[in-house]
Amino acid sequence: MSKIIFPDRESFKQYRIGFGKRLFDIIFSSVALLIASPFIILIAIFIKLESKGPILYVSERVGTGYDIFKFYKFRSMRVNAEEERTQLSELNLYLINKKHQQAGEEETCPECERLGKCCSPLLYIDGTEICENWYLELKRRKNRNTAFFKVKDDPRVTFIGKIIRRFNLDELPQFINVIKGDMSIVGNRPLPLYEAEKLTTDQWSYRFLAPAGITGMWQIDPDRFRSEENRINLDNQYAMIASPLKDLEIIVKSLPTFFRKNNY
């Protein structure tokens, strides 16, 4: 595994979950695991009966302050699914939406229009005039990789996986992460290493000042896969306005998402 170069990690160590939030997390998670225990047992049995492999999917995730921890979910994909991720890059929802956005981008440089003249030397590309600054900007946008990865109708998902994902039941083991202190009930989703290593600029890394959470502002957004910029903005926003009342609001709004059609 390649070493990830993070920004000044010491500046991110300042965040600590407050006593009230931590107490709520422990009580809520303990009660949730107790109530859900019959479902947890059934899901574990069905996963084991359907395919060979572990019941739990355990991966390294990056949470608060770029701390790395073991993240638990019920396995909803076939074994070795991570090795097939690169083959599905063209199905990435963030990449698809990015291409749609690029198709609708301005054809002329906004800075040239503002100045009423060319803001930089003119280039002739494929018979079309374009200022150098705007050409470089369009090229940068086109070549920039998306940080997040999410596939609709992922072919790696098993039959049982589709069912438990439909109602977010694959997330139940994360209550163990909460009890351990790796995560909170409400926060920003902990990211896989390959996503977190792309979010190390000052603008994007601000999200890591908030706790890692099971649910958050991104989860309750009805158009959450619109763009990676939208997701980062929501994560950054939570880092700035987190409060007990905001957490309660997010928890209440999270309940209908269990029945949302695009839980994938």
What's the total number of domains in the chain?
2
Q: Where would I find the beta strands (DSSP E) of 56-201?
A: 56-62, 68-74, 122-125, 128-131, 184-186, 191-192
Question: Do 252 and 171 belong together in one domain?
Answer: yes
In b/e form, how buried is each residue of 90-99, taking b as 16+ CB within 10 angstroms?
eebbbbebbe
Q: Give the pLDDT of residue 88.
A: 56
Question: Do 68 and 193 belong together in one domain?
Answer: yes
Tens-digit pLDDT profile for residues 207-219: 888 899 999 998 8
Question: Do 193 and 155 belong together in one domain?
Answer: yes
The span from the CA of 39 to the CA of 108, in Å, is 56
Q: Which residue type occupies 4? A: I
Question: Do 66 and 168 belong together in one domain?
Answer: yes
Q: What are phi and psi of 11, to 5 degrees?
A: -70, -15
For the chain, what percent of residues have pLDDT higher than 90? 34
Question: Do 129 and 76 belong together in one domain?
Answer: no
Question: Do 105 and 154 belong together in one domain?
Answer: no
Question: Do 125 and 24 belong together in one domain?
Answer: no
pTM of the entire predicted model: 0.70
Tens-digit pLDDT profile for residues 72-126: 999 988 887 666 566 555 555 455 454 444 444 556 787 788 778 888 888 877 6
Report yes or no on 236 lying in a domain.
yes
Report yes or no on 4 lying in a domain.
no
Q: What is the CA radius of gyration of the chain?
A: 21
Question: Do 135 and 38 belong together in one domain?
Answer: no
Would the pLDDT of 151 be above 70? no
Question: Do 97 and 210 belong together in one domain?
Answer: no
**Domain that residue 58 falls in:** 9-85+147-259
Question: Do 160 and 178 belong together in one domain?
Answer: yes
Tens-digit pLDDT profile for residues 164-204: 988 899 999 999 999 999 999 999 999 888 778 777 666 67
Report yes or no on 264 lying in a domain.
no
Question: Do 79 and 179 belong together in one domain?
Answer: yes
Report yes or no on 2 lying in a domain.
no
Question: Do 77 and 164 belong together in one domain?
Answer: yes
